[in-house]
Amino acid sequence: MKLNLPNVLTVGRLIAAPGVAVMFLYFHRPWADWFALTLFVTAAITDYFDGYLARLWKQESRFGAMLDPIADKAMVVIALVILTGYSGMNPWLILPATVILFREVFVSGLREFLGAEARLLKVTKLAKWKTTTQMVAIAILFLGTGLEYLEGIARRGLTAEQYADAVSRGLADPVRSCGARGCSSLATDVGLTLIWLAAALTLVTGIDYFRKALPYLRGPKP
């Protein structure tokens, strides 16, 4: 393994994956939400730069090619586990999260089974869009959980609807509300829409990988 900047960025992204969970262990909310969001976004940005710099400087390596998808999957899986817990086990999040987690495990198993033939399952452009959509959706959902906690404090016992009405009448802090709706509700809706889109892309790419591997699954066991 060569210690170069692209590989350092990839390793850093892998370390950041459990670091997102650690934020909720050592910090109180909403600071934990903001730190987790910052760490996740920073790590997601490195997902672009490590590959770009490796190609630009001709520093592509087997180590980087192996670790890059692992780091991406670790980030997405750990973040989704955290979000499903803090979203109150929202079924609108649990279902797409289940699709994403199932696909990642399934494709990883396919690659392991294929061994030397796993090159058939190389990352496609659609798979890259899938990963990007997942990370954007997760970042927005983290924003929503942080804002929801702040709005919960600001409401002081009011429901979300009562709070929005109080804001419209100038009786509550408008900084923590987006017009007639809470900012957390708006962020969560956008995040859920994107995570469903990511789940659809995840499913399509998973089916594509399975189709490519199918000829090798039909033969007799070696």
Per-residue pLDDT tens over the stretch 100-134:
999 989 888 887 777 766 666 677 788 889 999 99
Higher pLDDT, 160 or 86: 86
Residue 181 falls within a domain, yes or no?
yes
Residues 103 and 209: their CA atoms lie apart, in Å, by: 10
What's the confidence (pLDDT) of residue 117? 66
Instruction: List Cβ neighbours of 13 (8 Å cut-off, separation of 6 or more).
Output: 43, 46, 47, 50, 71, 72, 75
Establish if 16 belongs to a structural domain: yes
Residue 222 in domain: no
pLDDT digit string, tens, across residues 50-101: 878 888 888 877 787 788 888 999 999 999 999 998 888 889 999 999 999 9
Instruction: Yes or no: say if 97 and 79 are a contact pair by the CB < 8 Å rule.
Output: no
Q: Is the pLDDT of residue 209 over 80?
A: yes
- Least Cα distance to 198 among 103, 109, 122, 105 occurs for 103
Q: Which 3 state secondary structure label does DSSP give 71?
A: helix
- Domain-located, residue 200: yes
Confidence (pLDDT) at 119: 65
Whether residue 107 lies inside any domain: the answer is: yes
182: β partners? 177
Question: What's the pTM value of the predicted model, to 2 decimals?
Answer: 0.84
CATH of the domain at 207: 1.20.120
